[in-house]
Amino acid sequence: MAEQAVTPSTTMMIPVPRIIGAVLGVVVTVLVSIGIYTWGTAPSFSSLYNGLEPTDAAQVIAALQSAGIAYELNAASGSVMVESGRVHEARLNLASQGLPKGTAMGLEMLHEEQNFGTSQFVESARYHHAMETELARTISTMRNVKSARVHLAIPKKSVFVRKREKPSASVVLNLYGGRVIEPGQVNAIVHLTASSISSLSPEHVTVVDQSGRLLSSGDLSSSVAMTTKQYDYVRLVERDYEQRIEHLLEPIMGVGKVRATVNANIDFTQLESTEELFNNPKQTVRSEQSSESKRFTKSGGGVPGALSNQPPQGGQLVEGTGDAGVVPASSKPQNTSRNSVRNYEVDRTIRHSRQGTGKVQRLTVAVLVDDKVAVEEGETTRTPLTKDEIARITSLVQQTIGFSQDRGDLVNVINASFTPLEAVEDLPEPSIMENRWVQLALKWLGPFILILILILTILKPSIKGLSSYTPPVPVLASPANEDAAGNENAQGGVAAGEGAAQLEHQASAIPLPSDHDEKVDFARSMVQQDPKKVANVVKDWIGNEPA
CATH of the domain at 66: 3.30.70.1530
Q: Same domain for 86 and 186?
A: no
Answer yes or no: are the C-beta atoms of 420 and 375 closer than 8 Å. no
Look at residue 492 and tell me if it is in a domain: no
Q: H or E element: which one contains 226? A: helix 223-253
Complete DSSP assignment for 325-372: G-B-TT-EEEEEEEEEEEEE---EEEEEEEEPS-EEEEEEEEEEEPPE
Angle at 191 between CA 186 and CA 195, to 5 degrees: 150
pTM for the structure as a whole: 0.45
Q: Same domain for 147 and 194?
A: yes
Give the C-alpha separation, 418 to 416, whole Å.
Answer: 6
Q: Provide the Cα torsion 172, 140, 181, 202; round to 10°.
A: -60
At 25 the three-state DSSP class reads: helix
Cis amide linkage into residue 100, ω under 30° from 0: yes
- Which range, of 271-280, 290-299, 444-453, averages the lowest pLDDT? 290-299
Q: How many CB atoms lie within 10 A of CB 78?
A: 15
Q: Same domain for 260 and 370?
A: yes
- Does residue 206 or residue 164 have the better pLDDT? 206
Look at residue 166 and tell me if it is in a domain: yes
Q: Same domain for 246 and 366?
A: yes
What Cα–Cα distance (Å) separates residue 364 from each residue in 154, 392, 406, 503? 52, 18, 13, 119
**Which of 398, 415, 432 is the last residue before a domain boundary?**
415
Give the C-alpha separation, 146 to 97, whole Å.
Answer: 23
pLDDT in the model for residue 57: 79
- Does residue 41 or residue 373 have the better pLDDT? 373
pLDDT in the model for residue 103: 52
Q: Same domain for 91 and 202?
A: no
Give the C-alpha separation, 520 to 195, whole Å.
Answer: 99
Query: Residue 176: which of 151, 207, 142 has the closest Cα?
Result: 142
Give the C-alpha separation, 522 to 513, whole Å.
Answer: 8
At 151 the three-state DSSP class reads: strand
Answer yes or no: are the C-beta atoms of 140 and 123 closer than 8 Å. no
What Cα–Cα distance (Å) separates residue 546 from each residue in 495, 502, 534? 8, 17, 21
Residue 392: exposed, middle, or buried by beta-carbon count in 10 A (0-12, 13-18, 19+)? Answer: middle
Look at residue 81 and tell me if it is in a domain: yes
Look at residue 363 and tell me if it is in a domain: yes
User: Is pLDDT at 313 greater than 90 in this prediction?
Assistant: no
- Does residue 183 or residue 175 have the better pLDDT? 175
Q: H or E element: which one contains 39? A: helix 16-41
Query: Residue 365: which of 258, 483, 213, 242 has the closest Cα?
Result: 242
- Residues, the chain: 547
Give the C-alpha separation, 34 to 162, whole Å.
Answer: 82
Q: Would you give the DSSP letter of residue 196?
A: H
Contacts 24+ apart (CB under 8 A), 419-427: 421/256
Q: Same domain for 253 and 392?
A: yes
Answer yes or no: are the C-beta atoms of 59 and 98 closer than 8 Å. no
Look at residue 389 and tell me if it is in a domain: yes
Q: Strand pairing partners for 316?
A: 327
Give the C-alpha separation, 30 to 38, whole Å.
Answer: 12
* pLDDT confidence bin for 13, thresholds 50/70/90: low
Q: Same domain for 159 and 196?
A: yes
* pLDDT confidence bin for 393, thresholds 50/70/90: very high
| 349-364 mean pLDDT | 83
- pLDDT tens digits along 77-119: 668 888 877 888 888 888 887 777 665 555 555 555 566 666 7
* pLDDT confidence bin for 238, thresholds 50/70/90: very high
Domain count across the chain: 3
Give the residue numbers spanning the domain of 92. 45-97
Q: Strand pairing partners for 338?
A: 292
Answer yes or no: are the C-beta atoms of 1 and 481 closer than 8 Å. yes
Answer yes or no: are the C-beta atoms of 259 and 368 closer than 8 Å. yes
Q: Same domain for 259 and 396?
A: yes
User: Is pLDDT at 486 greater than 80 in this prediction?
Assistant: no
Look at residue 307 and tell me if it is in a domain: no
Which residues are CB-neighbours of 514 under 8 A, at least 6 positions away? none
Q: How many CB atoms lie within 10 A of CB 10?
A: 5
- Which range, of 195-204, 306-315, 423-432, 521-530, averages the lowest pLDDT? 306-315
User: Is pLDDT at 247 greater than 60 in this prediction?
Assistant: yes
Which residues are CB-neighbours of 214 under 8 A, at least 6 positions away? 206, 207, 208
Give the C-alpha separation, 212 to 113, whole Å.
Answer: 38
Look at residue 189 and tell me if it is in a domain: yes
Q: Same domain for 244 and 215?
A: no
Q: Same domain for 362 and 265?
A: yes
User: Is pLDDT at 328 greater than 60 in this prediction?
Assistant: no
Query: Residue 365: which of 470, 267, 249, 465 has the closest Cα?
Result: 249
First to last CA, the chain: 30
Look at residue 30 and tell me if it is in a domain: no
Give the C-alpha separation, 245 to 253, whole Å.
Answer: 12
Give the C-alpha separation, 411 to 353, whole Å.
Answer: 34
The CATH number covering residue 263 comes to: 3.30.300
pLDDT in the model for residue 111: 53
Which residues are CB-neighbours of 176 under 8 A, at least 6 positions away? 144, 145, 146
Q: Same domain for 127 and 200?
A: yes
Q: Same domain for 212 and 186?
A: yes
